[in-house]
Amino acid sequence: MTEVRRDVGAARERDPAARDVGPAEILAAWPGVHALLSHRIAHRLHEAQVPVAPRVLATATRALTGIEIHPAAEIGARFFIDHGSGVVVGETAEIGDNVTLYQGVTLGGTGFATGKRHPTIEDNVTIGSGAKLLGPITIGHGAKVGANSVVITDVPPHSTVVGNPGHPVRLEGRKVEGPDADWIHLPDPIADAIKALSERIAEVEARLAQLDGGNGPSAEVAKIEPRTGRSSAGG
Parse the chain into domains and list their residue ranges.
2-186, 188-235
- What stretches in the chain show pLDDT beneath 50? 221-222, 224, 229, 231-235
pLDDT at 214: 57
Report d(CA 132, CA 141) in Å as an integer. 18
Q: What is the pLDDT of residues 191-204, one digit of tens each?
A: 677 888 888 898 89
What φ, ψ does residue 68 adopt, rounded to 5°?
-115, 115
Question: What's the confidence (pLDDT) of residue 229?
Answer: 47
Task: Give the span between the Cα atoms of 212 and 139, in whole angstroms.
Answer: 54
Q: How far apart are CA 11 and CA 232, in angstroms?
A: 69
Query: In which region does residue 195 sit, left (phi positive, over 0), alpha (psi from -120 to 50) or beta (all else)?
Result: alpha
Predicted local confidence at residue 199, as pLDDT: 87
* CATH T-level topology, domain 2-186: UDP N-Acetylglucosamine Acyltransferase; domain 1 (2.160.10)
